[in-house]
Amino acid sequence: MTDRFYITTPIYYVNAEPHLGHLYATMLADTVRRFQTQRGRESYFLTGTDEHSQKIERAAEAKGVPVQLFVDGLAGRFREVFDHWKIGYDQFIRTTSDAHKAGAQELWRRCRDAGLIYKSVYAGWYCVQDNAFIDGPKDGPPPECPDSGGPAEWVEEESYFFRLSEFQDRLLAYYREHPGFIQPDSRRNEIVSFVEGGLQDLSISRVTTKWGVQVPDDPAHVMYVWFDALSNYVTALGFSESPEPERWKFWPGVHLIGKDILRFHTVYWPAFLMGAGLPLPERVMVHGLWMSGGRKMSKRLGNGVDIGLLDRHFQHDAVRYYCLAEMGFGQDGDFTYGALVDRSNADLANGIGNLASRTLTMLAKYRESVIPDAAVDPAVLSALEQAVTTAVAEFENFEFRRGIEALRVAMATVDRFISDRKPWAMAKDPALERELDVVLVTAFAAVRALVVTLAPTLPEGAEALWRSLNFEGTASAVDPGALAIGDVPAGHRIGDIVPVYPRLNKEQIMDEITKETAADGAAPVEPAASAAAVAPAPTPATEDDAFITIDDFAKVDLRVGQILAADRIEGADKLLKLSVDLGETEPRQVLAGIALHYAPEALVGRKIVVVANLKPRKMRGLVSHGMILAASVGDDGVPVLATFAEDVPNGIRLK
Ligand code: MSP
């Protein structure tokens, strides 16, 4: 891999407002770019808007707005949204800009001068929605558009053609010699068999619309929008400008695209470039699509998740992380708000957020915020090293889900290590001072390594945590691949603990989103997966409310706990004093009236269910911070503790 990295997103059609699908592709590219920069590569990131074509002209007409004004407005919206979501692009290209048009014309001239363009007549089907030519007999019914599913239109017009048919062998040879050119492999295989099936010359100009880039020396024709659009990847770098701009050094680059536009990028585009005598892209990385209600999220279907709604209810980090952690690269994903809330709570609030605050709280409490001089526990260190190495390798291949998964496993190892060592108990015994140092240093090393490695996926929170760790500079300036995880700075003073990822109240958020989308008449909030969370409360059977509502139930915060210690209380023969790990920074003290039926030593290690938000209550001079659940059996009400047949992590909510 070279030290330079150029990443592009598709340029987006400006026929409607951006939705999650567009934000996703751009966030993914932004994450890749952040990661590459973090690894020390000089990088360049291009995104922008694709503003020509009949489809856009018609959308403007339908609104009664002059087309230039129409595209200016929507291009502005895309840019605004990307800026608001802190997408760190270097250039936002617009295909209506003069520089781009001049570049596209130069690409055309180079292909023409190489004898690859000729004039003829196109008679066939054209899909305005997809900007695609489709095979099919004139007298048959209009064929379906490949992507949008709409009906194609029959057109017969004078057109310039590109000699694509001459490129079959060259393209196949290129795919063979560059096996990583199209990824994942399934997409590569799809294209290889398509090209093996033979290629026809491609119509690359239109006379029935004026809304496009003029064909050089023939003002009656505008370029086919894909010739115009694809050229953006090189016009943005000023490939034809003289003197050659410095940024041209970034070519060739990596194209990130959705699988919906595979053929354009892996057949047409390489052929145009070969024709013009320019180097081919380094790689074409093909991501899957977000579905909603079982269909591709799209502007046309109106089932796109509204970015404004995401913005109002979720931290940007949570949305980015969810998209990366949930969708395997190249696969489709089903977007649900419920899963987004769950991810945010499990991985951000309870995961990295909790581990960081737990660690910093312990350091503040037991070591006056100064990192002690001790070695990181070797088993945890090796787990962390392995996880970071895996994550870095996966991130290099855009496999964020797999990389994140490796880090999650390491995080669980660290959590377990802390719970097993019981630092709160060690702190009470001066003889265990050195051991406590090891726990603290290990936890600190873990937080630092996780924050650094997760930085491209959690740009805002990682930097906030970095500041809490009181390190200079930024987490994103540290290369995770070069971090010496076991090298912990003894004597370093940590900063203040700032909560980064608050727990989201799922029921409340789901309820609000349901109301908002219903008021907008927008696409339904939730395809089946988490419908239970928004199901209406059962109607009371009688006037005296025989039922509670789901909201009533949601008020009870039931959590998985683990008993760490159980002691009898002097003078209270029925009560036991329990120390319970609820996945919080410190175990809780809970009193339970079970002493007549459970021996304290038999309870240590047991998983139980705790009502975690019960008002604290004082009994026998001791405060109980919660209540444990038990069945009350027989006339005597013998308590039998509620527990789990499977292993479950501490602190998880029951619902
Ligand atoms: N203008 C062309 C691309 C020209 S590139 C030289 C185009 N535009 S688009 O606005 O329709 O969509 C472009 C890209 O947006 C898709 O390839 C994909 O990256 C992203 N997405 C659009 N809908 C999406 C989903 N439902 N899910 C994920 N990404 C989606 O095609």
Structure confidence at residue 535 (pLDDT): 29
Q: Tell me if 12 CB under 6 Å of ligand 1.
A: yes
Q: How confident is the model at residue 520 (pLDDT cuts 50, 70, 90)?
A: low
525/568 same-domain check: no
Q: Does 410 lie in the same domain as 557?
A: no
Q: Is 428 exposed, middle or buried (0-12, 13-18, 19+ CB in 10 A)?
A: exposed
pLDDT computed for residue 523 by the predictor: 53
Q: Which of 8, 11, 17, 22 to mutate to test the pocket of ligand 1 (most atoms within 8 A of CB)?
A: 22
Q: What pLDDT, on a 0 to 100 scale, did the predictor assign at position 2?
A: 63
**387-418 pLDDT, tens per residue?**
999 999 999 999 999 999 999 999 999 999 99
CATH code: domain of residue 603: 2.40.50.140
456 lines ligand 1 (CB under 6 A): no
One-letter amino acid for residue 362 of the chain:
M
Q: Is the CB of 212 under 6 A from ligand 1?
A: no
Read off the pLDDT of residues 155-209 as tens digits, 9 standing for 90 and up: 899 999 999 999 999 999 999 999 999 999 999 999 999 999 999 999 999 998 9
- The answer to whether residues 527 and 558 belong to one domain is no
Q: Strand, helix or coil at 464?
A: helix
Q: How far apart are CA 422 and CA 591, in angstroms?
A: 20
Say how many Å lie between the CA of residue 163 and the centre of ligand 1. 27
Q: State which residues form the domain around 265.
A: 4-296
Name the pLDDT band for 98 (thresholds 50, 70, 90): very high
CATH code, 359: 1.10.730.10
Identify whether 306 is part of a domain.
Answer: no
CA 606/CA 599 separation, integer angstroms: 12
Judge whether 629 and 610 are in contact, CB under 8 Å: yes
Is there an atom of ligand 1 within 6 Å of 101 CB?
no
Q: Is the Cβ atom of 583 under 6 angstroms away from ligand 1?
A: no
Q: Rounded CA gap, 243 and 39, in Å?
A: 31
**Residues, the chain:** 655
Work out the angle at residue 365's Cα, subtended by the Cα atoms of residues 364 and 370, and round it to the nearest 5 degrees. Answer: 40
Query: In angstroms, what is the span from residue 240 Cα to ligand 1's centroid?
Result: 27
Q: Is the CB of 284 under 6 A from ligand 1?
A: no
Q: What is the pLDDT of residues 244-289, one digit of tens each?
A: 999 999 999 999 999 999 999 999 999 999 999 999 999 999 999 9
Residue 647 lies in a domain: no
Is 543 within a domain?
A: no
Domain check: are 186 and 254 in the same one?
Answer: yes
214: amino acid identity, one letter: Q
289 Cβ closer than 6 Å to some ligand 1 atom: yes
Predicted TM-score (pTM) of the model is: 0.81
- For residues 529 and 611, membership in a common domain is answered with no
Residue 302 counted as domain residue: no
Q: Indicate whether residue 13 lines ligand 1 (CB < 6 A).
A: yes
**How many domains in the chain?**
3
**Alpha-carbon span 617 to 590, nearest angstrom:** 10
Q: What confidence score (pLDDT) does residue 317 get?
A: 98
Task: Say yes or no: 492 and 439 in one domain.
Answer: yes
Share of the chain above pLDDT 90, in %: 73
Q: Is the CB of 225 under 6 A from ligand 1?
A: no
Centre of ligand 1 to C-alpha 100, Å, is 20
The domain boundary, picked from 507, 535, 563, lies at 535
HSE toward the beta carbon, residue 105, CA cutoff 13 A:
18
Find the 9 Cα to ligand 1 centroid distance in Å. Answer: 9
Residues 93 and 138 in one domain: yes
Percent of the chain predicted with pLDDT > 70: 95
95 in a structural domain: yes
In a shared domain, residues 515 and 588: no
Which long-range contacts (C-beta less than 8 Å, at least 24 apart) are formed by 335-338? 335/20, 335/290, 335/291, 335/292, 335/297, 335/305, 336/526, 336/527, 336/529, 336/530, 337/509, 337/510, 337/513, 337/525, 337/526, 337/530, 338/506, 338/510, 338/526, 338/529, 338/530, 338/533, 338/534
pLDDT greater than 80 at residue 348: yes
Residue 587 confidence class, pLDDT cut points 50, 70, 90: confident
Residue 8 CA neighbour count, 13 Å, CB half: 27
Task: Please tell me whether residues 281 and 367 are part of one structural domain.
Answer: no
Residue 479 in domain: yes
